[in-house]
Amino acid sequence: MTRNNDKRFTVCIWGIVALFTGLYISLLFNHNIWTDEAFTLELLHENVKGIITGTAKDVHPPLYYLYAKIFYTVFGDALIVQKAAAIIPMTAVLVFGATVMRKKFGDMVSLLFLLFITCVPCSMEFAVQVRMYSLALLCVTVCGVYAYLAFAEGEKKDFVIMAVSGVAAAYTHYFAFVSVIIIVGFLLLAILIPTAEEWKIRTLGRRKNARSVNTDNDVIEEEQAEDAYTDGEAMDSTDNRNPWSYVMEMRAWRRGRLVLWCAAAVGMLVMYAPWMPFFIKQVTAVQKGYWIPEITAETIWKYFIWTFDLTIVPGVVFLFLVILKGASTYNTLKIAKYQDEFDFFALLCMLVPTITMILGVVISCIKTPIYRDQYVFPSLGLLALFFGISMRDAKRWLLGAVSALLLLVGAGQYKECFHQEYRSTYVPQTEAFFAKNLQEDDFIVYNWDIFGFIYKCYFPEEQLVYLPDFDFSQEFRAVWVLDTEWNPDVDPAVLEANGLQMELMGHYGIEHNEFDIYKIYKK
């Protein structure tokens, strides 16, 4: 973990933080949301109790909604407020990379982490989405980093931060919860498993005195270990300690870490206990059926390549990124055999998102489909950290090429996100149409009930009615029908019976739901 604190690194690191925070902000000024975001906005109209009750009936824990409720209460229900609330955790991830990661892991790791996490195609989309993904990313990233610091430095505050951030992740997204379980589990294994040096001392001692009948006696075992180690391979020349003293020190070290780990684990269980009944209820409900389609070989492949989206990055660039990831993985595996704790941490960073995805796919294949590609996003910060650690000592020309490539990918994803937020739907045209034509005595009638709550984000709720519930015999100036082609149409007999006629006004849409607008009025 070398650091040089070069001013050039300071400029580059904070330049990336400022640049991408500015890009996130540039994506806020639109009125374009999708279905899940509309659900979030609808839920925020409830009080705290209503939010908890609403999420308990859904398939997500409540923390993000409670977090968003604070902004709703303080700044109002404007969409830009909630979009801004979504980018704050993402920006916090960048600041965390520029401060804590830089201090603990060095300039190069911090720089590469920031380049990766900001430039991979999926990150910018979720940075501005009114959902829990950016908050989950922050929590899992902090949990993973402080799990390593808890192992390496062993301070109580490291275990506390790991526990709190881990519980926060579990209260934010269930696959973030899975990632936290993997992190905490790996930390336990790291504490319990003796180092290679310990194994060598103990093994040499037992081999030299294999016939001794008192090998369980610490005094005899100590003598055996000392003699054998003297006859065998010596310890590092800089370490003049008694070999057995080293073993005993490591035993005490593990006991101390284990006590803190147990305290942290118990604390996490206590903090999450209030939500466990709801979690169990949600799991039971999902097992009876869920909206996610069956996972096939094709969907698994799509999940695999999701991080490097081919719609944004040319195929040759994608291939290069895959090769680069493979090379960095091999490099980490190669150096990890020397049992360098920092490089083993890099392996953990790689394994957390990998195991999370594998578990999601396996459960989806053998039980109920519950996993989507985006559910690995909370652990993407650790994948970025793996990339930074494994590439930190690469040649300058390679680092330059990788940095340029990532920035190219980042430019591509910003262009794509800008298009999606501002130009990809009919939302501006639809809003302009109703701003010109909708009057106080009019009604808006829709025929797709699934999109009812998203329509509420765009139209006055008192004027919005689901088609089967609308009474065409009542008084009105005009009825504007949002007619989605695969749902029930207005019955011509009803129009005839009430002396009404219907006129096509054009093709419009909200989010990815396109529809024809019809005007119904008295003949």
Cα 64 to Cα 41, 125, 168, 388, distances in angstroms? 12, 17, 9, 29
- For residue 510, is pLDDT > 50? yes
pLDDT band at 518; cut points 50, 70, 90: very high
Note the pLDDT tens digit of each residue in 195-205.
666 666 656 55
Which pLDDT band, with edges at 50, 70 and 90, does 160 fall under? Answer: very high
Quick one: pLDDT at residue 233? 45
Higher pLDDT, 200 or 154: 154
Q: What is the pTM of this model?
A: 0.84
Q: How is the beta sheet containing 500-510 ordered, strand by strand?
A: 464-466, 443-446, 479-483, 513-522, 500-510
Average pLDDT over residues 46-52: 91
Residue range 244-265, pLDDT digits in tens: 676 677 778 888 899 999 999 9
DSSP annotation string for 361-420: HHHHHHS-----GGGGGGGHHHHHHHHHHHTTTS-HHHHHHHHHHHHHHHHHHHHHHHHH
| Confidence class for position 320, pLDDT limits 50, 70, 90 | low
**What mean pLDDT, rounded, does the chain reach?**
82
Q: At residue 148, what are phi and psi to the nearest 5 degrees?
A: -65, -45
How does 373-397 read in b/e, with b if 16+ C-beta sit within 10 Å?
A: bbbbbbbbbbbbbbbbbbbbebeee
% residues pLDDT > 90 (the chain): 39
pLDDT band at 190 (very low <50, low <70, confident <90, very high): confident
| Average pLDDT of span 334-362 | 77
Q: Determine the pLDDT at residue 200.
A: 65
pLDDT score recorded for residue 304: 66
Q: Which of 30-34, 48-52, 105-109, 220-224 has the lowest mean pLDDT?
A: 220-224
Distance separating alpha carbons of residues 124 and 136, to the nearest angstrom: 15
Confidence of residue 283 (pLDDT cuts 50, 70, 90): confident
Q: 433 pLDDT exceeds 80?
A: yes
Q: Would you list the domain boundaries of the chain? A: 7-149+289-422, 427-522
Helices (H), 77-155: 79-98, 100-105, 107-119, 121-127, 133-152
Give the pLDDT confidence score for residue 363 in this predicted structure: 81
* pLDDT tens profile 136-148: 999 999 999 999 9
Please write the tens of the pLDDT for every residue from 472-509. 999 899 999 999 876 667 888 888 898 999 999 999 98
Top-confidence range, 68-82, 168-182, 198-212, 382-396: 168-182
User: Which pLDDT value is given to residue 413?
Assistant: 85
The neighbour count for residue 143, using CB atoms within 10 Å, is: 30
Please give the average per-residue pLDDT across 409-414, as a whole number: 85
Please tell me the predicted confidence (pLDDT) of residue 115.
Answer: 93
User: What is the structure's pLDDT at 364?
Assistant: 77
Number of H helices, E strands in the chain: 23, 5
The more confident residue out of 358 and 320 is 358
